[in-house]
A and B are shown apart, each in its own frame.
Chain A
Amino acid sequence: MNLDLPLVFAALMGLAMLMYVVLDGYDLGVGMLMPAADAREQELMVASIGPFWDANETWLVLGVGILLVAFPVAHGIVLGALYLPVAWMLIGLMLRGVAFEFRIKAEGWHRELWNGLFWFGSFLASFAQGFMLGRYITGFHAGFGYTVFALLVGASLCGGYVLLGATWLVLKTQGVLQAKALGWARWGLAWVALAVALVSLATPVVSQSVHAKWFDFPRTLALMLLPLATLAAGWLVWASTGRLKRGEAQADWVPFAGAVAIFALAFAGLAYSLFPFVVIDRMTIWEAASHPSALGFMLAGVAIVLPFLVAYTAFAYRVFRGKARPGLYE
């Protein structure tokens, strides 16, 4: 059997990045929503993400780790070009990570300070990630228009994470907080619509190869399934949150599932646009890949570890299923 190792690792990297965006996305989103809630609600919000956020961020290390170890040349180019936004993101992630721990132990204005930093760190990390995405899909071109585009993607990703965070809260909370979260989810959805539209329209304009891939009849017709499915997922979020708002029968996990579907579909579209490039129009996954001996050795590890990883992650989510309870460390 002749395995196309770079392709396998590109798929694994994509999977890790998608897992990261969805999982850390909801806890970053919850962080950004903190100022909109009162003190008692904030405790519940924090309790809903407490057991998960450490492991969620590990997916980022895995995603970047695969870029680093499977496509080392691309890792240097991408992170070199994104030097400053990477630094913002890291500072944001650091602030929110430690603020999360510190705020539990603090009282009075100290707690307010850590709440503020938790919000700011979540926002900074989310915005920086969106900005990086904007720079990445436009091939790191310099210029005013490109910068504005990256800023818009940054703001939109914040909206996307707010959608994930709000629908997560719909799933994990009840009563007044859940009602608030329903409202936040609908605002987030509006932002996401803007984001998806922006990125979808901009990428073909920026890159000829992306343009060629999407506007190639009759393939275009089949590809139109992707935006249509995204629209359907968006409608699902809108309709299910509406039913929950009106107090009609509706499973509380549906809005979150819809939000995850939107992210997965947008991700699939992006992956289709970029493939087989790891740096758009400059470097393919095969050109950037490490030596087969290194990839093979890693693949063995992935094959052994991944089932365990999935199993104990599922176990952790099972342990903490149901509505969040106040009071951490109990």
Chain B
Amino acid sequence: MSEVLLLSRAQFGLNIGFHILFPSLTIALGWILFYFRIRYARSGDPAWLATYKLWTKVFALSFAMGVVTGITMSFQFGTNWPGFMQKVGNIAGPLLAYEVLTAFFLEATFLGIMLFGMNRVPGWVHIFASAMVAIGTTLSAFWILALNSWMQTPAGQVTQGGQIIAGDWWQVLFNPSFPFRFTHMLLASGLTASFVVAGLSAWRLLRAGEDGSARVTLRTGLVLAAILAPVQVFVGDQHGLNTLEHQPAKIAAIEAIWKTERSVPLVLLAIPDEDKRRNDFAIEIPKGASLLLRHDADAELKGIDAFAPDTAPVAPVFFAFRAMVGIGMLMLLAASWGAWTTRRGRLPPRWMLWTLSGFTFSGWLATLCGWLVTEIGRQPWLVTGILRTADAVGGASGAQLGASLTGYVITYTAMFLAYLVVLTHLAGKGAHA
């Protein structure tokens, strides 16, 4: 891989990986805030108001982080990947434009009213503004996931006079992997937000002691997570089967299946060896992969050899997938156990509070691992079968990329540390923050 391509990918990967943390929190947190706001409107209880205000601050902070890193991305499409818009701009462009038009302005404008307007507008207008912010963040996810899914499993496009254009926008939007990816991502956001809510509430209980509103939000987060986690396991499995149908090369990399054969074992853990095209130290379940993916122990599965030379690097996809599933299972366990210990207003034991504090950002880890799987797993394609990543890269020099990459790394590190400090500070102060 050339130096420029490598640096362009590193820079864009860093940026998009950093960016996705914040939307994946705010998409669902917007709805949780709406719930808190409704609870306050119906009960008039100041504890709900305090809860709403505290989490509004967390939301505003995360939203700002999402906005500024998102602006960066809209520029990096041009600076790092000009070939992308030249080749598929007629499809990608309108989807991005619709995101800005329908989602960005909606959420940013109503956020102002939601944050600063509570004493300036009637209650129902404020509730309406809270709903618009939540709808805006979800719409934003809709357009971005539609574009990403189209890049993974293109559909609905036609070639006319050497240009790729949309033949049927409905097919472009609702391409084969979109319903699965969109649901999977919304659930990931729900889990991320509910663990942040539960984790920071647990932290408040540990730091600030008995705190009525923290107990309620702890419970809210845990119940939500305990409901969503099993649904996510099911949706994730369906998403995997969809990937097998439309992007079998990615599944081969995920499962580290090197050769096309029948009765393929399920590799639980191994060290994939890219050069020798085999797995070292493999722990396998005989016929497991065939059974899991085809529901038939003797079924044939396509291996990486069937797609050579257009194959993704196996090791990162293989490990990221296992990390995602592993973290997800731990989250399922923590959420259901935590929900059990908080049943009927009980205060969970301190070790459980510590555990939940530790799980605060578990959703981020799982989400990042999931995106690594899906984005590395579709390499070398940027748009499957249409555009290679290497053909989209821009003309910036290695020195320019290196200098700006250094700047981004320093800025992001500082921003992230400050974000964590403020978040724990807000949570530690309790409802009086």
Residues of A within 8 A of B (CB): 50-52, 54-55, 57-58, 60-62, 64-70, 72-73, 75-80, 83-84, 86-87, 90-91, 93-95, 97-98, 100-102, 105-106, 290-291, 293-294, 297-298, 301-302, 305-306, 309, 312-313, 316, 319-320, 328-330
| A319 in contact with B411 (CB, 8 Å) | no
Contact among B56, B91, B93, B407 for A329, CB-based, below 8 A: B56
B71-101 vs A, CB cutoff 8 Å, 1 = contact: the mask equals: 1101101110011011001111110111011
Determine how close the nearest CB of chain B comes to the CB of A300; give it in whole angstroms.
9
Does B104 lie within 8 Å of A58, measured CB to CB? yes
Q: How far is the CA of A64 from the CA of B100 in the complex (A)?
A: 11
Residue B41, interface by CB 8 Å: no
Q: Which residue of chain A lies nearest to B85 when distances are taken between CB atoms in the complex?
A: A72
Q: A51-B116, A320-B112 are in contact. Are A91 and B408 (CB under 8 A)?
A: yes
A319-B126 Cα distance, complex, nearest whole Å? 11
Inter-chain contact count A-B, CB under 8 Å?
211
**Cβ contacts B374-392/A at 8 Å (1 or 0 each):** 0000000000000000000
- Whether B404 pairs with A58 at a CB distance below 8 angstroms is no
Complex Cα spacing A61 to B64, Å: 14
Distance to closest chain B CB from A129 (angstroms): 12
Interface membership of B315, Cβ < 8 A: no
Partner of B101, one of A50, A80, A305: A305
B396 on the A face (CB < 8 A): yes
Q: B105 contacts A309, CB within 8 Å?
A: yes
Give chain A's interface secondary structure class. Answer: helix
Q: With A290-B89, A297-B169, A316-B109 as given contacts, are A105 and B71 in contact (CB-CB < 8 Å)?
A: no
Which residues of A have CB within 8 Å of B116? 50-51, 320, 328-330
Residue of B nearest to A312 (CB): B109
Bound CA–CA A90/B105 (angstroms): 19
Min CB–CB distance B150 → chain A (angstroms) = 13
The CA-CA distance from A90 to B79 in the complex, in Å, is 12
B166 close to A293 (CB less than 8 A): yes
Counting CB contacts under 8 A, is B308 at the interface?
no
Q: Tell me whether B101 and A301 are in contact (CB under 8 A).
A: yes
- The B23-60 residues at the A interface (CB cut-off 8 A) are 53, 56-57, 60
Asked if A55 and B93 make an inter-chain contact with CB atoms under 8 angstroms apart, the answer reads no
Cβ contact within 8 Å between B89 and A105 = no
Identify the closest chain A residue to B395 (Cβ).
A80
With A72-B86, A98-B64, A98-B68 known as contacts, the answer to whether A316 contacts B112 (CB < 8 A) is yes
Please name the residue on chain B nearest to A95 by beta carbon. B411
Residue B252 CB within 8 A of the other chain: no
User: Does B63 interact with chain A (Cβ within 8 Å)?
Assistant: yes
Contact for B68 among A52, A55, A94, CB less than 8 A: A94
Pick from A57, A64, A80: contact of B82, CB below 8 A.
A80
Contacts of A298 in B (CB 8 A): 93-94, 97-98
For A74, give the chain B residue with the smallest CB separation: B78
* Interchain residue pairs with CB less than 8 A apart (30): A50-B116, A54-B63, A54-B109, A54-B112, A62-B101, A69-B85, A73-B86, A76-B82, A79-B75, A80-B78, A80-B79, A80-B394, A87-B408, A94-B72, A95-B411, A97-B65, A97-B67, A98-B65, A98-B415, A101-B61, A298-B93, A298-B94, A302-B101, A305-B102, A306-B101, A309-B101, A309-B105, A313-B105, A329-B115, A330-B118
Known: A94-B68, A98-B65, A309-B101. 12 other contacts (CB 8 A): A51-B116, A65-B97, A69-B85, A76-B86, A79-B79, A94-B71, A105-B57, A105-B426, A291-B163, A294-B94, A297-B169, A305-B102
**8 pairs of A and B residues whose beta carbons are closest in the complex:** A69-B93, A76-B82, A51-B112, A79-B78, A72-B85, A72-B89, A294-B90, A87-B404
Query: Nearest Cβ in chain A — how far from B355, in angstroms?
Result: 27
Are A105 and B115 closer than 8 Å at their CB atoms? Answer: no
A-side contacts of B83, CB under 8 Å = 76
Instruction: List chain B residues, Cβ under 8 A from A73.
Output: 86
- Tell me the bound Cα distance from A200 to B53 in angstroms: 50
The reply to whether A301 and B104 form a contact with Cβ atoms under 8 Å apart is: no
CA distance A84 to B403 in the complex (A): 9
Do the beta carbons of B74 and A61 come within 8 Å of each other? yes
A101 and B60 contact, Cβ closer than 8 Å, known pairs A70-B93, A94-B415, A320-B120: yes
Residues B93 and A294 in contact, CB atoms below 8 Å apart:
yes
B352: chain A residues at CB < 8 Å are none
Instruction: Give the chain A neighbours of B102 by CB distance below 8 A.
Output: 301, 305
Report whether B104 and A61 are in contact in the complex, using a CB–CB cutoff of 8 Å: yes
A141 to chain B, nearest CB (A): 17
Counting CB contacts under 8 A, is B400 at the interface?
Answer: yes
A301 and B93 alpha carbons, distance in the complex (Å): 12
- A contact residues around B89 at 8 Å (CB): 68-69, 72, 290, 294
Minimal beta-carbon separation of A107 from chain B (angstroms): 10
Partner-contacting stretch, out of B265-273, B284-292, B417-425: B417-425
Question: B113 in the interface, Cβ–Cβ < 8 Å?
Answer: yes
The verdict on A75 contacting B82 (CB below 8 Å), with A61-B71, A65-B96, A297-B169 known, is yes
Please indicate the chain A residues that have their CB under 8 angstroms from the CB of B85 in the complex: 68-69, 72, 75-76
The residues of A that contact B121 with a CB separation of less than 8 Å are 319
